[in-house]
Amino acid sequence: MTPLTPLAPARIETVLFSAARIRERVDEVAIDIAADFGDDCRIVAILKGSFVFVADLIRQLSGRGLHPVVDFIGISSYGAETVSCGAATLQGQLSLPVQGRRILLIDDILDTGVTLQAATRLLLDNGASEVRTCVLLDKPARRIVPIRADFVGFTIDNVFVVGYGLDYDNRYRHLPYLATLTVPAP
């Protein structure tokens, strides 16, 4: 196992959303998704940042009588940076067929839009009949491609956020809340 690289000192600035508020909002999003998808809910989640959100969301969907089928794909546009590099890199393959299916594509954050657009295109190119999108966080100030999510947990300003699965160079994913992180310039 490769040790983590040393990072510039970073500090949590502000808790944006508490664990309780996140639970409440995930429940609200699940209600909307259940109404839209009914009993046939096939989910493709983008790793790594969405894994906590997806786990909580599918439990909420299950509590509403849905039994989602879940697949994962890795696509990244951040690496070890706090801003998107502007290009999406595919890091995995779909393991379940999407041909002719309505898909709910889930990501942690809609920032530039590059990742969500690339993943949507991948699903459509693989024969999905429709792709609906769901993100925990929407950061419209950073958008460089014309895309909007169908389901949004929270809309945020142009700040770097960690916690609840979101990271800075693979750190801070474990936090049960969402907070801003400040990384001093080198």
Active-site residues: which are they? 111
Contact 68, 41 (CB under 8 A): yes
Bridge partners (DSSP) of residue 73 are 46
